[in-house]
Amino acid sequence: MVWRVVLLMVLWAAAAQADPLVIRSGFTVATSGYGPLVLEAKPVLKHFGTSYILEPTHFRSTSLELSALAAGEVDIISIAFSSFAVAVLNAQLDDIRIVADGNQDGVGAHRTVPFLVRNDSGIARIEDMKGRVVASNGAGGAFDIALRWMLKKHGLEDKRDYTVVESDYANMAAMLLSGKADLIIGAEPYVDTPAMKQNSHALFTTRDSLGPSQMTVMASRAGFLAKNHAQLVDFFEDMMAVYRWFRDPANHAEVVAMVTRVTKQPPETFASWIFTDSDVYRDPDLRPNLDSLQRNIRVMNELGLVKGEVDVEKYADLSLIDEARQRLK
């Protein structure tokens, strides 16, 4: 009888190991969110392959990630504050849940994303953008909101005073240098090249527009979280561990090599800042700033992009990262 119990336990353990949870993640930038970069550091991910498997998919904007989440095509996404507000107020995705920090802009000495113009464009003030072309990664994205808010504060309105064209981050530098756009989002590492440094400068920054901001959060749906709680605690323990590992100066050279492989960009474009205090802020405990998120949504209200308030706390489930943090202590 005992041997049967032992056999059943062995078979159960083998079955559990054979069927790790597949987590389909969405990301926009390869160096943030739960994208290909974290898979470069598999030795740090102690639960990968046994408790869960990560399958990342690239999207041009977080608004497209939201559509995929609503359609059940992905499980966890890096969502901008703007897309989160749309999910609740417009898409009525009432079961969406904020589960972790994505990244925060303009916190302390950490990086704030600039909006760049060519040195020879004749654009010296924001008012000079009248009649010009702006490149955005998607209407309603976080940086799109920062861009529109700053232009609005200086009397400029979309369609009436300027034209918006959509592009992914990787193509914006070429658009600026070729004259196809007059203002772009300065997303790293794509704009940190010798040509961009020589021929462009920041007209303003995201911090100038919005102040220190919770730009993106990681989000999922309540049903997925409830069904897979144990595996997701394992997952977030690994994500917390890997982002702390990325930030450790002792690992910097190895991290630079990983980023080079993932982005196909030369290391000199990002080696001096990636995962340092000069990079965007990522909370070491993956904890989002919900007060900042609330403020950003109020800006959307003032822009007329959403109608109504969102009680951010109601849509946050931070229990997974809380459990993961306790383990890492």
Q: Could you tell me if residue 202 is inside a domain?
A: yes
Report the pLDDT averaged over residues 134-143: 85
Across the strands, what pairs with 77?
26, 219
Query: How far is 231 from 52, CA to CA, in rounded Å?
Result: 6
| Reported confidence tier of residue 138, pLDDT bands at 50, 70, 90 | confident
> Does a structural domain hold residue 109?
no
Which domain range does residue 52 map to?
Answer: 2-104+213-328
144 and 42 within one domain? no
- In-domain check, residue 74: yes
Where does a domain end: 186, 210, 234?
210
> Residue 306 — pLDDT band, cuts 50, 70, 90?
confident
Taking 50 as the threshold, does the pLDDT of residue 7 lie above it? no
Indicate if 263 and 230 belong to the same structural domain.
Answer: yes
CA 99, chain centre distance (Å): 13
Report if residue 126 sits inside a domain: yes
Query: Do residues 191 and 250 share a domain?
Result: no
Same domain, 93 and 158: no
Residue 137: CATH number of its domain? 3.40.190.10
pLDDT at 9 > cutoff 60: no
Interior/surface letters 166-196, b for 16+ CB within 10 angstroms, e for the rest: ebbbbbbbebbbeeebbbbbbbbbbbbbeeb
Q: Residue 262 domain-assigned?
A: yes
The structural domain count of the chain equals 2
Taking only the tens place, the pLDDT of each residue in 39-60 is 999 999 999 999 999 999 999 8
In a domain, 323, yes or no: yes
Residue 60 lies in a domain: yes
Q: Are residues 192 and 221 in the same domain?
A: no
Query: Of the residues 210, 243, 262, which one is the last residue of a structural domain?
Result: 210
Residues 97 and 223 in one domain: yes
Residues 123 and 191 in one domain: yes
Looking at residue 18, what is its pLDDT?
57
Say if residue 217 is in the same domain as residue 324: yes
- C-alpha angle with apex 75: 276 to 87, nearest 5 degrees? 90
Asked if 92 and 221 sit in the same domain, the reply is: yes
Domain boundary among 210, 238, 256: 210
pLDDT at 283 over 60: yes
In a domain, 294, yes or no: yes
pTM listed for this prediction: 0.80
Strand 114-118: give its sheet, edge to edge. Answer: 184-185, 114-118, 200-205
pLDDT digits (tens, 9 = 90+) for 72-90: 999 999 988 888 988 898 8
Statement to judge: residues 120 and 185 lie in one domain? yes
Examine the domain organization and report whether 309 and 223 are in the same domain: yes
Q: Phi and psi of 103, rounded to 5°?
A: -155, 160
Specify whether 232 is located in the same domain as 299.
Answer: yes
